[in-house]
Chain A
Amino acid sequence: MTSPALEFDNITKQYRSFFHNESVKALDGFSLRVEQGEIFGFLGPNGAGKTTAIHIALGFMFPSSGRGLMLGRPFGHAATRRRVGFLAENVAFYHRPAGRLVRFYGALNGMHGPQLRSCTAELLKELELSEVAGRNASKFSRGMLQRVGLAQALVNDPELLILDELTSALDPLGRITVREILLKARNAGKTVFLSSHLLSEVEQICDRMAIVIKGRVARVGTVSELLEAQNRFVITARGIDELLFEGTRQNGFIKITVPALGQRQAIEKIWLAGGEVIAVNPIRRTLEDLFVELAHKNGGPHTEKRRQ
């Protein structure tokens, strides 16, 4: 069994106010395992603790308790970060030309010479930044800054890519480009850890995902597992009397919703009535439905402030 790309083990992070009379638990017994070579979606409402978890993994902050591993080494290990690419939410860079910025960040990761130059040029081309590589990044739109951010995260050809709200400012074409890059990275055996609010984006490209609510993992699994977890089916049939079945009629077909256990019984009933079963489909709720359901089930989305 290979070691996970990222592993959080019962991590708690508590922020305290200056006089320690108020505290906020951003993460509360947070455990998660991200395997190598997958695109992992990391979802959660604002204030759920997603960014905190990412910052702990990268060593920007320390957990109040618990521990974790990134590429087999403890969180915060400097040499391991050379094998990681990171793009922060609300990305901010020094006021320098985009091409030089990417080279600067690559050089901080130990790259140099022709290798760094060729990697930078290739990435800028892939992200459609070649023409503006000489322009100062301070004059860029948010979407362009995110492309530069992705370029600096990818310049060292990382094994693990951690992206915090990557596509929030990208236009549809930019999102397609980024999606292709992420899928290419996954196919090359890299791991992508993608934190996002864009549920459709996550649904399209992620192999597995976790939903975080109030600093805890509320649900984790493959996208299909999570969306088909309702255990209800829709049977589409025709040639039966609609009075015998409770369902909705549409273009001569009747759609009957039944629980998983009642599926066989319902099909037999249709056959006995002389009807024909056209299709049996599991009910797929949308990611949005699941997201809202979990948030409500956990008593609202946000972490709570506590007075001591």
Chain B
Amino acid sequence: MRPILLLAANFVRSQWTVLTIMLVYVVAMLGFIGLHEQRAEVLFFIRQLSFYAIFLATMLTIPVIQNERKSRRILAVLSKGIHRWQYLAGLLLGALLIVGAFCLAVTLATWWLARQASLPTAGLGAYMLVLFLGCAACAAVSLFSSVFLHPFVALPAAIIILFLPLALELRGVYPSSLLFPVSAITHVASDYTFQPPGTGLWRIGAAAAVQVIVFLALAAVIFAHRDITVTSE
């Protein structure tokens, strides 16, 4: 577990500018919307930032392996006595720490705004927790794609795995939200109204948690059998 924590902390440290920018954005939006405190604006705030959280999780993990390989920093790390799955788990945990910090900041900001606008906050914590699980699933799927694909290909591949139902729905096909929890979470986010969550939301959250484990395991299996360097020779 210790190598995973070390690698996660290292990832957070290397991405602190991204986290800072996102937190500054939350504070700036909070200041701007705090001036009005209208229900519609508070809803806009949380819905918009929910999508940003999903976007952040994906964008943090898609290029990470490629960057590490290109910079050759991966060599010094994987020459140590750690397994490749631990390396992946460290990167994933690091990304989730950043996304978690962002989600926490959004939760606190939304809670404050909702209180100012006299909106109910009972379901906010549960919604943010499920959103975080959705972000974790996004990160796991993105990491899975990036262990064997170039980021330019890994991104569309991850988007297809995560958001296929959104395209199918246009054709009148509605796949189970348990198979595509992130897609279901984006539906919940776009319709969010501060209502207490039903059991459906928890099921989606649980499905997202399972997706994290499955895709991390798949990524680990593929990564364990791949050449991580191609020499310059």
Contacts and interface: CB of A to CB of B under 8 A. Distances in A.
Interface of A: 15, 26, 46-52, 55, 58-62, 78-84, 86, 88-96, 104-105, 107-110, 112, 149, 152, 303
Contact of B72 (A88, A107, A112): A88
Given A50-B233, A78-B81, A78-B82, A96 B72 contact: no
Q: Which of B2, B14, B81, B231 has the most CB of A within 10 A?
A: B231
Interface residues of B, number: 27
Contacts of A51: 231-233
Nearest to A162: B79
Interface string B1-32: 01100110010011000000000000000000
Contacts, number: 91
Contacts of A48: 233
Given A78-B81, A94-B14, A86 B6 contact: no
A95 B14 CA distance: 7
A86 B232 contact: no
Contacts of A80: 81
5 contacts: A26-B233, A49-B233, A60-B229, A108-B77, A149-B76
A170 B232 CA distance: 21
Contacts of A61: 227-230
Q: Which of B3, B78, B232 has the most CB of A within 10 A?
A: B78
Contacts of B187: none
B83 interface: yes
B76 A152 contact: yes
Contacts of A46: 233
B76 A52 contact: no
B73 interface: yes
Contacts of B10: 94, 104
B75 interface: yes
Q: Which of A55, A79, A80 has the most CB of B within 10 A?
A: A55
Interface in B57-84: 71-73, 75-83
Contacts of B82: 78, 81, 108
B225 interface: yes
Nearest to A61: B227
Nearest to A85: B79
A84 B71 contact: no
Interface of B: 2-3, 6-7, 10, 13-14, 71-73, 75-83, 225, 227-233
Contact of A90 (B14, B72, B227): B72
A124 B14 CA distance: 23
Contact of B80 (A49, A105, A303): A105
A74 B212 CA distance: 31
A89 B229 CA distance: 12
A110 B72 CA distance: 22
A109 B71 CA distance: 21
B231 A81 contact: no
Given A52-B231, A52-B233, A108 B81 contact: yes
B75 A94 contact: no
B14 A92 contact: no
A47 B233 CA distance: 4
A91 B76 contact: yes
A245 B232 CA distance: 53
Contacts of A82: 80-81
A104 B231 contact: no
Q: Which of B2, B73, B79, B228 has the most CB of A within 10 A?
A: B79
B228 A96 contact: no
Given A50-B233, A81-B81, A109-B80, 4 more contacts: A60-B228, A88-B75, A149-B76, A152-B76
Contacts of A78: 81-83
B178 to A, nearest CB: 35
A183 B77 CA distance: 26
Q: Which of A78, A79, A84, A89 has the most CB of B within 10 A?
A: A78
B73 A92 contact: yes
A60 B233 contact: no
A79 B81 contact: yes
B81 A105 contact: no
A107 B6 contact: yes
Contacts of B3: 107-108
